[in-house]
Structure 1
Amino acid sequence: MTDDAIALMHLAHQLHRSLDRRLQGDFVHPKPPEAQIAALWQIRQSPGMTVRELADELQMQPNNASALVTAMVKSGLLTREPDPQDRRVVRLHVTEQARGRIDEVQGLSSGYLDAALGDLGDDERAAVHAAIPVLARIARHVRDGRPHREA
């Protein structure tokens, strides 16, 4: 394992935990479980997706995704709507209540990060901006399960 891989792993965890803790203190509603937040963001990004598509995107077993969706429908965060072309297919949509909460969480999180970025110099902000596509490629690589090579 390289020093860069270890540093990236710890940094990703630290940033995630720091955002989560800040949100717990500032979000006025009870914070939904992490899986629900991920599902809401994914469904909002791709309205009308199926439970199977959600499971694939979140890398969950379909039965676990189905249970997650059922709980979210019961709590008023999602709706299930039959597909107009194929009534056997059910499409998922975020409710207005959930959309408002997603916006609030996203606003808080981006505010924390914008403040941190604002404390950086121009060159540092440019380096962060340039790193985003590379980090996205790394995330896709890890998500897709490509084999690793020993260093």
Structure 2
Amino acid sequence: MGELGMDDAALAAGVVEVAPQLHRVLERRADADFEHPKPPEVQLAVLRLVQERPGATVREVADELQLKPNNASALVSAMVTAGMVRKEPDQRDRRVVHLYVTDEARGRAEAAQALFTGYVAAALGALEPAQREAIRAALPALGALAREIRAAGR
């Protein structure tokens, strides 16, 4: 990879600045509007992962979210106690458990996602068409950027 030029460094600084701002404003709006207590971000990440891959193991959660195995195990145990996920033992190896999102947690996650989507859709509607198109065009590149940062950290 080449060295970042001044324009690229400014772009990197802009992304680093705007990403948490966007996250914070969405979180604050949801905190005010959502009827249930919001789980910590790491629990939401586990819910998203297990919804995308029903039957994921604790080890897969640890690997995907870059957690220490004992921390992932404690996190999953707390989520089982809270009724967010359920464990089912593997049929071949009883030491392995597969994780599934509970119906209640799925419903709450969908409601929270609908809130976030609504906030962003309303804000997008207030932007100029060219601004909306620039955001639409940037999404694949932002996804690639996230994957690159993650891969570099492994």
TM-score w.r.t. the length of structure 2 is: 0.90
Displacement of 1:99 in angstroms is 0.3
Which of the numbers 21, 30, 33 marks the counterpart of 1:23?
30
**Partners in 2 of 1:117 and 1:62 — Cα distance?**
40
**Partners in 2 of 1:146 and 1:27 — Cα distance?**
34
**Partners in 1 of 2:153 and 2:115 — Cα distance?**
34
Displacement of 1:130 in angstroms is 1.0
Q: Residue in 1 aligned with 2:58?
A: 51
Which of the numbers 66, 72, 75 marks the counterpart of 1:65?
72
Q: Residue in 2 aligned with 1:110?
A: 117
Q: Does 1:81 align with 2:92?
A: no
Q: Match for 1:40: what amino acid?
A: L
**Partners in 2 of 1:61 and 1:89 — Cα distance?**
17
Q: Residue in 1 aligned with 2:108?
A: 101
**Partners in 1 of 2:65 and 2:121 — Cα distance?**
26
**Partners in 2 of 1:93 and 1:146 — Cα distance?**
28
Displacement of 1:30 in angstroms is 1.1
Displacement of 1:59 in angstroms is 1.3
Structure 1 unmatched ranges of 5 or more = none
Which of the numbers 4, 9, 12 marks the counterpart of 2:11?
4
Q: Does 1:141 align with 2:148?
A: yes
RMSD (CA atoms): 1.6
**Partners in 1 of 2:73 and 2:96 — Cα distance?**
13
Displacement of 1:46 in angstroms is 0.9
Structure 2 unmatched ranges of 5 or more = none
Deviating beyond 6 angstroms after TM superposition, the runs of 4 or more aligned structure 1 residues are none
Q: Deviations over 1:46-84 (max 9, x none)?
A: 111001111111111111111000000001111000123
Q: Residue in 1 aligned with 2:136?
A: 129
**Partners in 2 of 1:75 and 1:58 — Cα distance?**
20
